[in-house]
Structure 1
Amino acid sequence: MNKKIAFVGAGSMAEAIISGIVKSGILKKEQILVTNKSNRERLENIKNKYDVQCILDKETVITEADIVILATKPYDLKESVESIKEFIQPGQLIFSVIAGISTDYITTLFGGNNPVVRAMPNTSATIGYSATAISAGKYAHEVHLNQAEELFETIGTTVIVNEDDMHTVTGISGSGPAYIYYLVEAMEKAATEAGFDKEIAMELITQTVRGAGQMLKETGESAAVLRKKITSPQGTTEAGIETLNKYDFEKIVMKCVKSASNRSEELGKSE
């Protein structure tokens, strides 16, 4: 990819994407520029870790870039745009990985007709396993979506969705890794409370989660079918599933996703 990319924001999501891009080798390290509001220590940390260009001077970062990636917190977006909008060039492509914020709002903040593409990766980007949804703003065309796919496919898989679906995407894949980690925490706690060795428990749980994901991916069978295949009548798995049903596990997970989606909508309404 013969492009220079500028990250505006250097938080955990920006770092996850930077890490994935560096590992993929799609860009040379000198093609990646990073800036933030004023945190020199954080920029120094990113520079030392990934050997990319970390610069507080916004003009240098923006004018050198072909693509600008907005990776700030939602409540910092307006101030961040104000700090860079005078340096944005006509036609310069803008990606946003900010939860809840619409492309229309971003376009309004910049006050022009730059193409804006919205993406929702997750922190598994760090190891190249992100699930990233992409949607186009009103000035973005197929060529811009193709560039987004080319970039984000270096850190995992991509799908193109309508922007109206992005709140649901946030609740499912954007926040999804945290739900899985929470489940793993609970399984680990159950094992250790039973007197099981913690390290062995984690090895078993980690491989179990990994294997379940691969089964879903490679067999093409639904989660319901795979679950039923290992749930023998009156067996151990059935006993566990019955307990999950007793405590409305399905409804709890559905409410969890809905809550995250609703929060994404709330962030959008605060535009």
Structure 2
Amino acid sequence: MNVGFIGTGTMGSLLIEALIASGALSPTQIAVSNRTFAKAQALAIRYSGMKAEFTNAAAACGCDIVFLCVKPLEFKKAVDDIKPVIRPDQIVVSITSPVLISHLEGELDCKIAKVIPSITNHVWSGASLCIYGQSVDEDDKTLLEDLLSHISQPLRIDESFTRIVSDLSSCGPAFISFLLEQFVDAAVEETGIGREEALRVASAMLLGTGLLLTEGGMTPAEVQERVAVPGGITAKALNMLRRETDGVFNQLIRTTHDKFKEDLAKVSSAFIGEEVNGQ
């Protein structure tokens, strides 16, 4: 299997590096291109055998799967670049949430999918959210999900839930890391504990909590119930948190959805010449 990556920015390079490190792909199976060729070339130098191509068309040509890892407003140009060389049996995969399956199906005569990766894939963990176009059959889905399973848990979702599942899976690590950082900062400020020590303890706690919620089979409510003895220290602190954070995550979701709708309108304008309100 040969795989092309158009765009070697943060998420493109993360996917490439994780797939190589996990053994899912060898560098010789990968072709890359980037708006700045030197970045693609640097990656190819790092991984001997990888092909750095000057054009997006060259990176896509002859590949079984082509990942489009570019920013929303760069998508139309990338699609126009590869359109002349794409074959019907190839799978083109967008990793950008505001780019709809219908946008790509309207431009490319091939099989279309969308995958929302996560930074957690860097350590072969977390989910890869998979959305498929009409021409993608079960064998195609299995091929793509087998590849992604080396670095994640592939989960099939409906495109109408793209934004919210992206909030939970892809943006979530940033949100949870922010909260953990605030927790550690407060611990240092209030008690004088060393930052490295506090972060080490808090990070181990976060890992353990994740395992309780997955392998341990507990729900968030069950974790809280098991830790918070009625009338105890944790229970009192949880009551304070409930009061102080009431509605904050509703606001967070509204914020991400508003930005998504803004980006979707711009992408739709680029592809079909008109703005849409989202879905």
TM-score exceeds 0.5: yes
Question: Could you tell me how far apart the structure 2 residues matched to 1:94 and 1:84 are?
Answer: 10
Q: Structure 2: give runs of 5+ residues left out of the alignment.
A: 269-279
Question: Could you tell me how far apart the structure 1 residues matched to 2:233 and 2:5 are?
Answer: 49
Q: Does 1:30 align with 2:28?
A: yes
Give the aligned partner of residue 225 of structure 1. Answer: 222
Q: Of 113, 117, 121, which residue of structure 1 is paired with 2:117?
A: 121
**What amino acid does structure 1 have at the position aligned with 2:125?**
Y
Q: Does 1:79 align with 2:88?
A: no
Give the aligned partner of residue 204 of structure 1. Answer: 201
Give the aligned partner of residue 237 of structure 2. Answer: 240
* C-alpha contact (below 8 Å) 1:171/1:261 kept by paired residues: no
Q: How far 1:74 sits from its partner (Å)?
A: 0.6
* Alpha-carbon spacing, 1:56–1:224, altered in 2? closer, same or farther (3 Å): same
**What amino acid does structure 2 have at the position aligned with 1:189?**
D
Structure 1 or 2: more helix by fraction: 1
Question: Could you tell me how far apart the structure 2 residues matched to 1:265 and 1:138 are?
Answer: 24
3-state SS of paired residue (1:159): strand
Q: How far 1:211 sits from its partner (Å)?
A: 0.3
Q: Of 39, 44, 47, which residue of structure 1 is paired with 2:44?
A: 47
Give the aligned partner of residue 274 of structure 2. Answer: none
Of 28-37 and 56-65, deviating more is 56-65
Matching of residues 1-271 of structure 1 within 5 Å: 3-37=1-35, 39-51=36-48, 52-110=50-108, 112=109, 114-193=110-189, 194-247=191-244, 249-270=245-266, 271=268
Question: Could you tell me how far apart the structure 1 residues matched to 2:82 and 2:97 are?
Answer: 20
Question: Could you tell me how far apart the structure 1 residues matched to 2:98 and 2:13 are?
Answer: 20
Q: How far 1:250 sits from its partner (Å)?
A: 4.8
**What amino acid does structure 1 have at the position aligned with 2:78?**
S
Q: How far 1:57 sits from its partner (Å)?
A: 3.0
Q: Once the two structures are superposed, what CA deviation does each residue of 1:82-108 show, in whole Å capped at 9, x if it has no partner?
A: 122112122211111112211110111
Q: Structure 1: give runs of 5+ residues left out of the alignment.
A: none
* Alpha-carbon spacing, 1:163–1:215, altered in 2? closer, same or farther (3 Å): same
* C-alpha contact (below 8 Å) 2:69/2:94 kept by paired residues: yes
* C-alpha contact (below 8 Å) 2:99/2:264 kept by paired residues: yes
Q: How far 1:123 sits from its partner (Å)?
A: 1.3
User: Normalising by structure 1, what TM-score?
Assistant: 0.92
* C-alpha contact (below 8 Å) 1:104/1:138 kept by paired residues: no
State the number of aligned residues: 265
Q: Once the two structures are superposed, what CA deviation does each residue of 1:157-196 show, in whole Å capped at 9, x if it has no partner?
A: 1111111111211121121111011012101211221311
Question: Could you tell me how far apart the structure 2 residues matched to 1:58 and 1:4 are?
Answer: 15
Runs of 4+ in 1 over 4 A off after TM superposition: none
* C-alpha contact (below 8 Å) 1:134/1:148 kept by paired residues: no
Q: How far 1:156 sits from its partner (Å)?
A: 1.1
* C-alpha contact (below 8 Å) 1:120/1:174 kept by paired residues: yes
Q: How far 1:72 sits from its partner (Å)?
A: 0.5
